[in-house]
Amino acid sequence: MTELTELTLAGIRDGVAAGTFSATEVAEAFNTAVADAQEALNAFIVTTPEAALEAAKKVDADRAAGRPLGKLAGVPIGMKDLFATKGVQTTAASHMLEGFIPPYESTVSQKLWDAGAGMLGKLNLDQFAMGSSNETSHFGNVISPWRRPGETTPLAPGGSSGGSSAAIAARLCPAATGTDTGGSIRQPAAFTGISGIKPTYGRCSRWGIVAFASSLDQAGPMARTVRDCAIMLEAMAGFDPKDATSLDLPVPAWEAGLNPDLRGKKVGIPREYRIEGLNAEVAKSWDDGIAWLKDAGAEIVEISLPHTKFALPTYYIIAPAEASSNLARYDGVRYGLRDLPEGANLQEMYAATRAAGFGGEVKRRILIGTYVLSAGFYDAYYTQAQKVRALIAQDFLKAFEEVDVILTPTAPSTPFALGEKRADPVEMYLNDVFSVPASLAGLPAMSVPAGLASDGLPLGLHLIGKPFDEAGVLNAGLAIEARAGFHASPAKWW
């Protein structure tokens, strides 16, 4: 029998349902893998082996009793530590929320437990989901399981969902939740050779997810295959009356609808994404993707998304603006860290608490956000950014009159070394250049593995779909997956 930790989500689900192995065996295998890797990879902030076992035992008991099993019965998963989990520490990888134990469960995590999944632990991430390398975590950065051949240089697993991507690539869990504000599911997926989809804004409830930028934040699944993403997204999505921006639409049967035949479909290739100085290997992988989709029957069409170059600056106005306000609640009054110097008044307590509780990148974004919303600058920055955001969304809608899905690279480079881009925040922000436009437009977008670059590290391809058309994105992803033949996994060194 194959090692249980090598199985996909679908393989585990089907094996448990068929009785090939028990959910408990699966949970134990992953619990062991998690424990073995924790010191080297630091993918989890807390591990919860008992929770994984408990869920598994319930699935086994249900199966033994002949009760119906959920969509994810017997599948242990990792939970990004941005989702509030009742009774389990939820930190957003911050000192501010270190030790915070929510008395409530996020809608998305609850749906996953209801579907029969079990929790292996809370996954590390960039602090408050702000970062592209996992280096902003208060609990130490995640180390990618990938290494350049013959090297031991620690590499970034991407961010902000870097704990999720590293854990999946290292076979510590078959799937994990991610959240994506400007690329936080897609870029780490690309960096670690796995798949991840950010659905249409509003598909997954934001209730109980620590907010970064409300108008952009979306939860989504990360897993090794497109099918696994489809299965897990079905369990995560759905209307939630507790989130006013939640989409009141039925959840499509994404898994059942998977179909890699793209005959009759048109794939758009936006010329503006061929940025000057584009990494040659990234460009080549993009060309591979074009060839694969053509092979799957799609017609390739060059399109224009004229406002693309404004997306990054627009994003870095809107996201920090919302963050500066969303993070105001961490004030030391009701929960989380309180730093009360001797004799301090309220204002001094705020200052001390927030100085100690937030990391450098979080502070930088709060400052940027506060600045762009302040009197005298609001119109020049925030109002202008909102207008540009509308133009970017229009670009896409216009393109989608002609094409069904858009193909681009996920990130402008292969994974970089930890520390490599820490000196210049703008260089780090540039990593989001291909992922941010779809976020601003609220569109479903996915990264799938395309192959390994000459440095032996994974590259991802990025598919952007029409609003609500996750199916179109998944199918194009499936077509690439079938042709890329990506089966590489990091050699175990931990």
Partner 1 sequence: MSKYRIQGATGEWEVVIGLEVHAQVTSGSKLFSGAATAFGAEPNSQVSLVDAAMPGMLPVPNRECIRQAVRTGMAIEAEINKWSRFDRKNYFYADLPQGYQISQLYHPLVGEGQLTIEADEKAGLPEAKQIGIERIHVEQDAGKLMHDQHPTMSYVDLNRSGVALMEIVSRPDMRSPAEAGAYLAKLRQILRYVGSCDGNMDQGSMRADVNVSVRRPGEPFGTRTETKNVNSVRFVMAVVESEAHRQVALIEDGGTVAQETRLYDPDRNETRSMRSKEDAHDYRYFPDPDLLPLELDDAFLEECRASLPELPDAKRARYVDGLGLSAYNAHVLTAEVDTARWFEALLAATARAQGKGEAEVAKQASNWLTSEFFGALNKLGKDLATSPVSPEGAAELLALVGDGTISGSIAKQVLEKMLESGEGAGAIVEREGLKQTSDTGAIEAVIADVLAKNTDKVDQYRGGKEALFGFFVGQTMKAMGGKANPQLVNELLKKALG
Cα–Cα distance, 371 to 440 (Å, whole number): 20
Task: Say whether residue 206 binds partner 1 (CB under 8 A).
Answer: yes
Task: Say whether residue 378 binds partner 1 (CB under 8 A).
Answer: yes
Cα–Cα distance, 161 to 81 (Å, whole number): 9
**DSSP β-ladder status, 195-198 and 175-180:** unpaired
* Catalytic pick among 22, 94, 160, 246: 160
Task: Say whether residue 393 binds partner 1 (CB under 8 A).
Answer: no
DSSP single-letter state for residue 103: S
CB of 328 to partner 1, least distance (A): 2
Half-sphere exposure of 424 (CA within 13 A, CB side): 6
Residues making up the chain, counted from first to last: 494
Residue 239 backbone phi and psi in degrees, to 5: -65, 140
Element of type H or E holding 176:
strand 175-180
CB of 355 to partner 1, least distance (A): 14
Residue 76 backbone phi and psi in degrees, to 5: -85, 140
What's the CA dihedral at 13, 17, 23, 27 to 10 degrees?
Answer: -10
Q: Which is nearer to partner 1, 104 or 493 (CB)?
A: 104
184 is catalytic: yes
Q: Which is nearer to partner 1, 21 or 100 (CB)?
A: 100
160 is catalytic: yes
Cβ neighbour number for residue 215 with a 10 Å cutoff: 16
Stretch that binds partner 1, among 151-159, 239-247, 256-264, 443-451 (CB under 8 A): 239-247
Q: Is 173 in contact with 55 (CB distance < 8 Å)?
A: no
Sites for partner 1 among residues 290-329 (CB under 8 A): 321-322, 324-325, 327-329
User: Out of 214, 279, 384, 394, which residue is the one contacting partner 1 (CB under 8 A)?
Assistant: 214
User: Out of 20, 32, 38, 370, which residue is the one contacting partner 1 (CB under 8 A)?
Assistant: 370
Task: Say whether residue 279 binds partner 1 (CB under 8 A).
Answer: no
Stretch that binds partner 1, among 46-54, 129-137, 241-249, 471-479 (CB under 8 A): 241-249
x/- binding map, residues 324-353, to partner 1, per CB under 8 A? xx-xxx-x-xxx----------xx--x---
Exposure letters 446-455 (e unless 16+ CB within 10 A, then b): bbbbbbbbee
Q: Which is nearer to partner 1, 386 or 489 (CB)?
A: 386
Task: Say whether residue 208 binds partner 1 (CB under 8 A).
Answer: yes
Q: Which is nearer to partner 1, 21 or 468 (CB)?
A: 468
| Distance between first and last Cα of the chain | 23
CB of 258 to partner 1, least distance (A): 32
Q: Which is nearer to partner 1, 250 or 376 (CB)?
A: 376
Task: Say whether residue 242 binds partner 1 (CB under 8 A).
Answer: yes
Q: Which is nearer to partner 1, 279 or 386 (CB)?
A: 386
Q: Which is nearer to partner 1, 325 or 489 (CB)?
A: 325
For 328-453, where are the E strands, in sequence order? 405-409, 445-452
**DSSP β-ladder status, 195-198 and 445-452:** antiparallel
Q: Which is nearer to partner 1, 275 or 344 (CB)?
A: 344
Task: Say whether residue 213 binds partner 1 (CB under 8 A).
Answer: yes
Stretch that binds partner 1, among 149-157, 192-200, 201-209, 402-410 (CB under 8 A): 201-209
Find residue 417's DSSP bridge partners.
155
Any alpha helices (H) in 162-279, and if so which ranges? 162-169, 186-192, 226-236
Residue type, 338: R
Cα–Cα distance, 124 to 121 (Å, whole number): 10
435 is catalytic: no
- Please count the residues of this chain forming the interface with partner 1, following the rule CB under 8 A: 44
User: Out of 115, 119, 211, 223, which residue is the one contacting partner 1 (CB under 8 A)?
Assistant: 211
Cα–Cα distance, 226 to 446 (Å, whole number): 9
CB of 166 to partner 1, least distance (A): 24
Q: Is 125 in contact with 80 (CB distance < 8 Å)?
A: yes
Cα–Cα distance, 134 to 127 (Å, whole number): 8
Cβ neighbour number for residue 337 with a 10 Å cutoff: 20
x/- binding map, residues 73-112, to partner 1, per CB under 8 A? ----------xx-----x-x----x--x-xxx-x------
Residues annotated catalytic, as ranges: 80, 160, 184
Q: Which residues are at the interface with partner 1 (CB under 8 A)?
A: 83-84, 90, 92, 97, 100, 102-104, 106, 206-211, 213-215, 241-245, 321-322, 324-325, 327-329, 331, 333-335, 346-347, 350, 370, 373-375, 378, 382
